[in-house]
Structure 1
Amino acid sequence: MQFLRTLCFNVAITFMVVAVIGDSTCNLCQQNHVKCVNETHFSLCLDSVSPDQVMQCPDDQVCTSYAKFCMPRGVVPPSCGSDAVVNCPSCDGSSLFVCTSRTTFQMCDGDKLSSQITKCKDNTFCAIGQGQFCVDRCKAMNSGTGLQCDRESPLQG
């Protein structure tokens, strides 16, 4: 009987620890020395590494607060969860251009996207809302607006 109580106690403690460890927010350095900037991208919180260097987890993995900071999607919740997901803007007749992914933008024709997809230079993010087409990673992540479109690539169609 004592064995079952001890086992139940240990299981309960484990779940509480996992809940606390997994409950982080975006853009804050975690105990694993990683700052998740969205569900799949992170930067390292180390003095020897530039803080504006954003990296991506492998395909089908999410950024977590665990020692192994990129883990398979669905196994554990991402540190920077779906409440932080950025919706991509759409053409609504008020903008000439919109970001259609993290690194691309397209021209609007009223409420429709043109077929021409324009890609930002390497290491820059789309920043139409910041009055520029593309800005460096640090400026995009540290701006008041953050990422304007958190899609990996523009939707085709």
Structure 2
Amino acid sequence: MAQRMEYLVKGLAVVFLTLFVVQTMSDCNVCQSNKVACINSTSFYLCFGDATPHRDQLYHCLDGFDCTNLTAICVQKSSQRPPSCGDTSQCGQCSASSNYLFACQSRGIFQMCYGATRPAGKFGYCPSGKVCDASSTAICVDEEKSQTVTCDISDELVDTTTASTAVTTESSTDSTTDSSTESTTEESTTVAALTPAQMCSQRKVSGLFPTIPTDPYCQRYISCYFKNTTLIRSEEFNCPEKSFFVSQTQSCVYVNPGYCIQS
């Protein structure tokens, strides 16, 4: 009798644990029962009772805490309770893919790397029912339940217009070009991100500036040094771990300014 009771208690514990894990699972960037929308494992927007997240302010959990659908929102990390929204540490990382072939920018958006350390050019989109997978040379694989996603961010959080906007400014400087040539030039330049030298040439002053396209994690920045009007040096750098580049102060700070995605 005692043994049967022990089995019964263990069975109920397993059921309870399973239900607890299922209840903490959710979709990224979706308003949950606790009135927040987790956009990755540690960051979230407030919903204020609406069905749509308010994106004017991005909030972050403390180190060691996950964003969940529980009342406390941020709960200490646990192997038995996954966060509401998955891992984002490999988002935009060419190194996540074999031979630096491509980088996943979200669940369904990617950019090619072609052996470079950071992605550039046009954004690619996975077909419906597929997700970007850096471990596969197919880039997009069938979406399955409980699978590990390379970059667990909702597609709508990716700004796919920044790169084309930046290069369009540069390509439109020659007003003597006829319309057909200008159209062709504009189309071809959108496939490549700007180099540090190109970005500094646009700034025309010495200082530290955001990259183009803008890094949503606020990690990368460029350093420009001009002597009179001549560009002497242009380099790209990364902020130290857990810090963020702020263009207003031209420095890396350890307090998130509110618009940076925290990986």
Question: Could you tell me the TM-score, scaled by structure 1's length?
Answer: 0.59
Does residue 59 of structure 1 match 2:157?
Answer: no
Does residue 114 of structure 1 match 2:236?
Answer: yes
Structure with the larger RCO, 1 or 2 (CA within 8 Å, 6+ apart): 1
Q: Deviations over 1:14-39 (max 9, x none)?
A: 12211211221100111222210111
Opposite residue 18 of structure 2, the aligned amino acid is M
* Mapping 1:145-156, distance limit 5 Å: 150=261
Q: Which residue of 1 aligns with 2:18?
A: 16
* Separation in structure 2 between the aligned mates of residue 55 and residue 88 of structure 1, nearest angstrom: 23
Instruction: Name the count of aligned residue pairs.
Output: 125
Q: Which runs of 5+ in 1 are unaligned?
A: 126-149, 153-157
Residues 41, 6 of structure 1: alpha-carbon distance in 2 compared, 3 angstrom cutoff: same
* Mapping 1:14-93, distance limit 5 Å: 14-47=16-49, 51-52=54-55, 53-75=57-79, 76-82=81-87, 86-88=91-93, 90=118
8 Å CA contact retained: 1:31, 1:65 = yes
8 Å CA contact retained: 2:58, 2:259 = no
Residues 58, 35 of structure 1: alpha-carbon distance in 2 compared, 3 angstrom cutoff: same
* Mapping 1:121-132, distance limit 5 Å: 122-125=257-260
8 Å CA contact retained: 2:40, 2:88 = no
Q: Which runs of 5+ in 2 are unaligned?
A: 95-117, 122-191, 195-211, 224-233, 240-244, 249-256
* Separation in structure 1 between the aligned mates of residue 247 and residue 49 of structure 2, nearest angstrom: 29
* Separation in structure 2 between the aligned mates of residue 116 and residue 39 of structure 1, nearest angstrom: 22
Q: Out of 89-98 and 23-32, give the one that drifted further.
A: 89-98
* Separation in structure 1 between the aligned mates of residue 238 and residue 9 of structure 2, nearest angstrom: 60
Q: Out of 83-92 and 5-14, give the one that drifted further.
A: 83-92
8 Å CA contact retained: 2:37, 2:45 = yes
Q: Which residue of 2 aligns with 1:4?
A: 6
* Separation in structure 2 between the aligned mates of residue 10 and residue 84 of structure 1, nearest angstrom: 36
| 1:62 shift after superposition | 1.5
* Separation in structure 2 between the aligned mates of residue 24 and residue 101 of structure 1, nearest angstrom: 23
* Separation in structure 1 between the aligned mates of residue 90 and residue 70 of structure 2, nearest angstrom: 20
* Separation in structure 2 between the aligned mates of residue 6 and residue 25 of structure 1, nearest angstrom: 33
Question: Could you tell me the TM-score, scaled by structure 2's length?
Answer: 0.38
Runs of 4+ in structure 1 deviating by more than 6 angstroms, as ranges, are none
RMSD (Å), alpha carbons: 3.7
Identical amino acids, percent of aligned pairs: 23
Opposite residue 106 of structure 1, the aligned amino acid is Y
* Separation in structure 2 between the aligned mates of residue 66 and residue 85 of structure 1, nearest angstrom: 26
